[in-house]
């Protein structure tokens, strides 16, 4: 059974590994002797706080399980969903999910291994006892929940609007976008959301993310609407050439964009699930999750 990863396609063509490594390794900060002209105006503005997702309620602190009963955690992931999971220069798994798994093991104070497998085989491997937990951005859909239990979400995939940096568009309320041309990938939850909520806008569907982005670059449309994480990756990379920026806040309606991404464990393994929930809360409360998020997403999708 194929699991739909966090509701949307992986955007593999738009997120090639080489670009991803540059993104993580330091492309986010342009060299001081070569400032990007399109971002000079942004640099002159007062600094803004970077939004970091937080799905933990400080008033609902999880109880500490008996962590002594978890001598080791065998994490499973894959290698083709940058910047969350990919192969590092040595061929070993790396990325946001992998680094988060290591921090979880440090928090629990247990031994941790991370093995990469093809994405479609991860839940089978989990249920065949070839791993204890899957950290690979699997959306806890109804089909996935029939095969595994999930921790609380540790991130979500918000939808965002993007406009050219010189666009006068500010707020993206439905009544303010009447007649505006909005690019979107055809057949996605993003297109369905626009049709339901932005009924007075001119919605222009494109066959894939690259053609939708190109339409915005060419000024064929006024706005682009899509997956905020993929768009943050694009805005921060060289492909966008500094053309564009987010407009408005994130859209998180679960009916369209899912309830978030958690870590999968074998059904009935409540001890491990609760231990992972406890560790995630600890990492968030101590600021470790925020530090890790900003390392991978200096342009926040939120």
Mean pLDDT of 8-37: 38
Same domain, 125 and 274: yes
Please check the confidence at residue 52 and state whether its pLDDT lies above 60: yes
Among 48-57, 205-214, 237-246, 286-295, name the most confident range.
205-214
Same domain, 21 and 129: yes
Q: Write out the residue range of the structural domain in which residue 143 sits.
A: 5-27+51-156+260-296
H, E, C per residue of 226-289: EEHHHHHHHHHCHHHCCCEEEEEEEECCHHHHCCCECCEECCCCHHHHHHHHHHHHHHHHHCHH
Same domain, 183 and 237: yes
Whether 145 is in a domain gets the answer yes
Q: With beta carbons less than 8 A apart as the criterion, state whether 257 and 157 touch.
A: yes
Residue 268, by phi and psi: left (phi above 0), alpha (psi -120 to 50) or beta?
A: left
Identify whether 221 is preceded by a cis peptide bond (ω within 30 of 0): no
Burial of 155 (0-12, 13-18, 19+ CB in 10 A): buried
pLDDT tens-digit series, residues 134-188: 999 998 999 999 999 999 999 988 999 999 999 999 889 999 999 999 999 999 9
- What CATH number should be reported for the domain holding residue 57? 3.40.190.10
Least confident among 11-25, 70-84, 156-170, 255-269: 11-25
């Amino acid at each position: 059974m194929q699991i739909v990863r966090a509701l949307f396609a992986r955007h593999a063509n738009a997120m090639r590994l080489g670009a991803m490594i540059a993104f993580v390794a330091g492309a986010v900060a342009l060299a001081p002797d070569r400032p990007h002209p399109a971002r000079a105006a942004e640099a002159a503005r007062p600094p803004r706080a970077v939004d970091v997702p937080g799905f933990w309620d400080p008033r609902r602190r999880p109880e500490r399980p008996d962590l002594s009963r978890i001598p080791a955690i065998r994490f499973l992931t894959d290698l083709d969903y940058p910047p969350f999971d990919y192969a590092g220069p040595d061929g070993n798994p790396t990325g946001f999910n992998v680094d988060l798994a290591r921090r979880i093991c440090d928090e629990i104070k247990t031994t941790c291994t991370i093995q990469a497998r093809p994405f479609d085989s991860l839940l089978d491997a989990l249920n065949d006892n070839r791993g204890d937990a899957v950290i690979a951005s699997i959306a806890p859909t109804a089909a996935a929940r029939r095969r595994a239990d999930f921790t609380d979400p540790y991130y979500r995939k918000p939808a965002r609007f993007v406009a050219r940096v010189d666009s006068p568009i500010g707020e993206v309320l439905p009544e303010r976008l009447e007649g505006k041309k909005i690019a979107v990938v055809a057949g996605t939850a993003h297109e369905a959301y626009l049709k339901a909520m932005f009924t007075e806008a001119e919605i222009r569907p494109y066959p894939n993310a690259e053609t939708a982005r190109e339409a915005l670059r060419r000024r064929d449309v006024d706005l682009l609407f899509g997956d905020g994480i993929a768009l943050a990756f694009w805005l921060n990379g060289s492909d966008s050439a500094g053309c564009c920026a987010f407009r408005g806040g994130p859209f998180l309606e679960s009916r369209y964009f899912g309830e978030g991404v958690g870590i999968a464990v074998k059904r009935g393994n409540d001890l491990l699930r609760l231990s992972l929930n406890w560790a995630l809360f600890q990492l968030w409360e101590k600021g470790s999750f925020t530090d890790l998020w900003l390392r991978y997403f200096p342009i926040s999708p939120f």
